[in-house]
Amino acid sequence: MKPANAHSCPISIVIPVWQEANTIEASLKRLAPLRHAGNEVLVVDGGSEDATVRLAEPWCDHVLVSAKGRAVQMNAGAAVAKGDILLFLHADTRLPATVLEELKAFVASDRQWGRFDVRLSGRRPVYHLIGWLINWRSRLTGIATGDQALFVHRSVFEALQGFPPIALMEDVEMSTRLKTVSAPYCVADPVETDSRRWEQFGPWRTIWLMWRLRWRYWRGESPESLAREYRSDVR
């Protein structure tokens, strides 16, 4: 299912955003070397009311505006992306310097999709523990979260019809579908994701919330119901 010119490794980085004016410029500037290497960066805004779009425009190849929701936004970006490899990146997540080498190794492998290990930016020991737990869980289950910068061959993504358009758990559901195609390609050199959410709401409270929501999703509760509780809890 790999494209014929896969070894050229053209990458489309799709970044769903909403109200990221404080961080989007710095985030996109870090991706400049990847753009200079011939890859593209697409920002998909979910209707921000701040300056996100204006600040993003000089530092990416294209800014799209779509309905709000990560799954919807990522699918919108993928629909216009030119790369053979699609990489979905949160605005507050930093790719490792080795990303191009890692993705070239992925293309040469027999895996059809993958993700990075993750570390949190916070320096307290609890944040190192959380990162370790996320990586351990991901290797054990084959499930990737959005913070782990999921990447996939375009042909596979299109065959699976993209992310399911659900309000929450789109990353879990997409990983589950991708596992039917191949096991994930796991990159040990981690992405770094901002620990602001964990710091704002408390690390243990956040862990408990995430595990509780995943358990209820596995039990069959609707993503819409879980999303309402998530938004209520993190306010």
Alpha helices in 64-195 (DSSP H): 70-80, 99-108, 125-141, 154-159, 170-178
User: pLDDT averaged over the chain?
Assistant: 90
* Token pair listed for 175: 């990983």
For residue 93, the surrounding DSSP H or E stretch is strand 93-94
Task: Kindly indicate the confidence band of residue 5, based on its pLDDT and cuts at 50, 70 and 90.
Answer: very low
Rounded distance between C-alpha atoms, residue 16 and residue 57, angstroms: 14
**pTM listed for this prediction:** 0.90
* The CATH number of the domain covering residues in 6-191: 3.90.550.10
Distance of CA 96 to the CA centre of its chain: 14
* pLDDT tens per residue across span 38-75: 999 999 999 999 999 999 999 999 999 999 999 999 99
Domain extent listing, the chain:
6-191
Find out whether 155 and 2 touch, Cβ atoms under 8 Å.
yes
Residue 3's pLDDT band, with cuts at 50, 70 and 90, is very low
Is it the case that residue 225 has pLDDT exceeding 60? yes
